[in-house]
Amino acid sequence: KKIVHGDLKGENILITLTGRAVVADFGLSRKVSESSITRFSSLSTNGYAKGSTRWLAPECLLNGGNSTYSSDTYAFACVCYETFTGFVPFYEFPQDISVVFQLSAGRRPARPLDKSDLSDSMWEIMQEYWSQEPSIRPTAS
């Protein structure tokens, strides 16, 4: 099914008793057709972006852009960061406003010095998924 989740993050991915990962919390998601993918906004009625700041793609957070497949791709890289490092994106910044400043400067989460279980090849993939330009992020297909 063609769904834009709009709030992918580690706490919205649950593990079943058989070890299968399943996505949860579809409160901000939309079932979309190809023609309607850009019609819904990620902004709430008060003008602030919906979703979780540390996982939102820059175009959604900074420009009030729409949630898209591409913004979910960006968020997926953030989930990978959580999975491989044990840290939320931008863990070194305790306040979300600091994360907004980092994103507006074009920065992405820093690779931990110990590298955890994060291989060089996985880090390169995450960098691609974090591209500033949504149109050049890889697709899930």
| 29, pLDDT greater than 80 | no
* 91-114 exposure pattern, b = at least 16 Cβ within 10 A, e = fewer: bebeeeeebbebbeeeebbebeee
Structure tokens at 69: 């497949």
| 119, pLDDT greater than 60 | yes
Which of 7, 25, 72, 120 is flagged as catalytic? 7
Q: How far apart are CA 126 and CA 26, in angstroms?
A: 23
The pTM for the full model equals: 0.76
Q: How far apart are CA 43 and CA 63, in angstroms?
A: 10
Confidence of residue 39 (pLDDT cuts 50, 70, 90): very low
Q: Where are the domains of the chain?
A: 50-133
Q: Which is more confident, 132 or 32?
A: 132
- Each residue of 68-104: pLDDT tens digit? 889 989 999 999 999 898 899 999 999 999 999 999 9
- Is residue 7 flagged as an active site residue? yes
CATH superfamily to which 50-133 belongs: Transferase(Phosphotransferase) domain 1 (1.10.510.10)
Tell which phi-psi region holds residue 107, choosing left (phi > 0), alpha (psi between -120 and 50) or beta: beta
